[in-house]
């Protein structure tokens, strides 16, 4: 069934976002015969695209059930196929506006100032994910999965005995660098200033690790290598001196941005923009609105935990809808 601007079609469950969280919620709500309508997003040149962050990942070796590993896009296609098999209606479109001031909740696509929304949903599951903040350099998106990564837990294993760079000076960078020393022969932290933002304890852990060294006052200017990363061009911000760092891996750890702009002023958020959910639940403060996956998780950020909270959101949405009858 097409999703038409301004149609105001009433549905039981709408799901915004199609990463592991949203599609798991779709599988569960579809199997509960709730006929979920999924707005999966639209392809774009940035990291914001249907399927979420796994679409930018090559090998995934830590998702249970795939002992040989699986490519990120293939894994997401399998999630999608499974949701469609049970009747989830998936639309390749972005929500342009939501109105959570009254039930059923309005969801617009296309023209956000149209009078009527495209959908009115009794229950809404928000799974719009988060994005790693990147350096915005040439060929950056193409390099992800080919030496460039944003997740040491996911990809550190691939860099055994190699020299790796980590960019950033906060807790994430220290944590990623320290974790990566389990695999790497050497880790170089590249930071744009001469002092760290990270907490003292995380700094100390990095300073005392003999496999970690620091490049201060330095920024990455280019990714080197054709099909895979072979080095970084670095500029010293004080002297403008250019150097090349020979690394085969580079982890960007300069923060994450949750995709919550659509819900500003309508759903409670942390100061950092992540949606707030109740303890041990996917429920938000608003009855019938649930949040799952990275949009509400600034700690684990894993596909498997996103899928887990997607399942929670679906079961809670199902019980909420039952309670309305
Ligand atoms: P963060 O604290 O915002 O630090 C980001 C770092 O990246 C800063 O050092 C910043 O440099 C640098 N940076 C930002 N944009 C940059 C750019 N375009 N180019 C180069 N460098 C750039 O982010 P985070 O480390 O991800 O931490 C986020 C929050 O999670 C923090 O509250 C942190 O404490 C928490 N966290 C805690 C733990 C833990 O306790 N185990 C682990 C991870 C994260 P400047 O310093 O110059 O601004």
The yes-or-no answer on residue 151 being catalytic is yes
SS (H, E, C) 56-92: HCCEECCCCCCCCCEEHHHHHHHHHHHHHHCCCEEEC
Structure confidence at residue 48 as a pLDDT band (50, 70, 90): low
> Which pTM value belongs to this model?
0.86
Identify the pLDDT of residue 59: 80
* pLDDT, average across residues 163-167: 98
Spacing, Cα 46 to ligand 1 middle (Å)? 21
Q: Cis bond leading into 104, ω under 30°?
A: yes
Identify the pLDDT of residue 2: 80
Identify the pLDDT of residue 287: 98
- Closest by CA to 58, choosing from 147, 132, 127, is 147
Pocket of ligand 1 (CB under 6 A): 135, 167-173, 175, 192-193, 197, 219, 254-255
Angle in degrees, CA 50, 55, 60, rounded to 5: 140
Match 């932290």 to its residue by tokens.
189
Kindly report, residue by residue over 1-25, the tens digit of the pLDDT: 888 888 899 999 999 999 999 999 9
- Closest by CA to 118, choosing from 87, 100, 95, 88, is 95
* Nearest atom of ligand 1 to the alpha carbon of 197: 46
* pLDDT, average across residues 40-59: 76
Residue 106 class from Cβ within 10 Å (0-12 exposed, 13-18 middle, 19+ buried)?
Answer: buried
- Contacts with 125 (C-beta within 8 Å, 6 or more apart), sequence order: 13, 14, 15, 16, 22, 25, 29, 36, 282, 290, 291, 292, 310, 313, 314, 317
Q: Comparing 59-63, 114-118, 147-151, 164-168, which segment has the lowest mean pLDDT?
A: 59-63
Identify the pLDDT of residue 240: 98
Residue of 130, 171, 196 to mutate, ligand 1, most atoms within 8 A of C-beta: 171
More confident residue, 50 or 282: 282
The yes-or-no answer on residue 155 being catalytic is yes
Instruction: Check whether 57 has a pLDDT greater than 90.
Output: no
* pLDDT, average across residues 208-212: 98
The catalytic position among 59, 151, 171, 311 is 151
Structure confidence at residue 288 as a pLDDT band (50, 70, 90): very high
Identify the pLDDT of residue 12: 98
- Tell how far CA 254 is from the center of its chain: 14
Spacing, Cα 138 to ligand 1 middle (Å)? 22
Q: Comparing 68-77, 207-216, 277-286, which segment has the lowest mean pLDDT?
A: 68-77
**Measuring from atom 43 of ligand 1, which residue has the nearest CA?**
172
Instruction: Check whether 193 has a pLDDT greater than 60.
Output: yes
List C-alpha distances in Å: 246 to 168, 192, 217.
18, 18, 18
Identify the pLDDT of residue 46: 52
**Measuring from atom 23 of ligand 1, which residue has the nearest CA?**
255
Query: Considering the chain, what is the average pLDDT of its residues?
Result: 95
More confident residue, 34 or 2: 34
* pLDDT, average across residues 108-137: 95
- As a whole-number percent, the residues of the chain with pLDDT over 70 amount to 98
Kindly report, residue by residue over 65-117, the tens digit of the pLDDT: 999 999 899 999 999 999 999 999 999 999 999 999 999 999 999 999 999 99
CB half-sphere exposure, 76, CA atoms < 13 A: 22
């Amino acid at each position: 069934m097409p999703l038409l601007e301004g149609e105001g079609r009433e549905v039981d469950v709408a799901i915004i976002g199609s990463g592991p969280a949203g599609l798991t919620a779709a599988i569960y709500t579809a199997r509960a015969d709730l006929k979920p309508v999924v707005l999966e997003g639209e392809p774009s040149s940035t990291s914001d695209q249907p399927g979420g962050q796994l679409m930018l990942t090559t090998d995934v070796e830590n998702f249970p059930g795939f002992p040989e590993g699986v490519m990120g896009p293939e894994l997401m296609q399998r999630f999608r196929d499974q949701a469609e098999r049970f009747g989830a209606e998936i639309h390749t479109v972005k929500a342009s506006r939501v109105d959570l001031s009254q039930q059923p909740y309005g969801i617009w696509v296309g023209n956000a100032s149209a009078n009527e929304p495209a959908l009115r949903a009794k229950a809404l599951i928000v799974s719009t994910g988060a994005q790693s903040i990147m350096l915005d350099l040439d060929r950056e998106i193409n390099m992800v999965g080919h030496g460039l990564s944003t997740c040491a837990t996911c990809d550190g294993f691939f860099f055994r005995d190699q020299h790796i760079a980590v960019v950033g000076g906060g807790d994430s960078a220290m944590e990623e660098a320290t974790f990566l020393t389990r695999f790497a022969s050497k880790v170089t932290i590249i930071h744009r200033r001469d002092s760290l933002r990270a907490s003292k304890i995380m700094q100390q852990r990095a300073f005392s690790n003999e496999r970690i060294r620091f490049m201060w006052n330095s920024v990455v200017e280019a990714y080197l290598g054709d099909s895979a990363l072979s080095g970084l061009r670095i500029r010293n911000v004080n002297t403008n001196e250019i150097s090349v760092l020979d690394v085969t891996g580079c982890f960007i750890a300069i923060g994450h941005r949750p995709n919550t702009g659509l819900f500003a002023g309508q759903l409670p958020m942390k100061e950092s923009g992540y949606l707030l959910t109740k303890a041990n639940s996917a429920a938000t403060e608003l009855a019938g609105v649930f949040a799952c996956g990275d949009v509400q998780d600034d700690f684990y950020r894993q596909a498997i935990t996103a899928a887990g909270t997607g399942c929670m959101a679906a079961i809670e949405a199902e019980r909420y809808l039952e309670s309305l009858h």
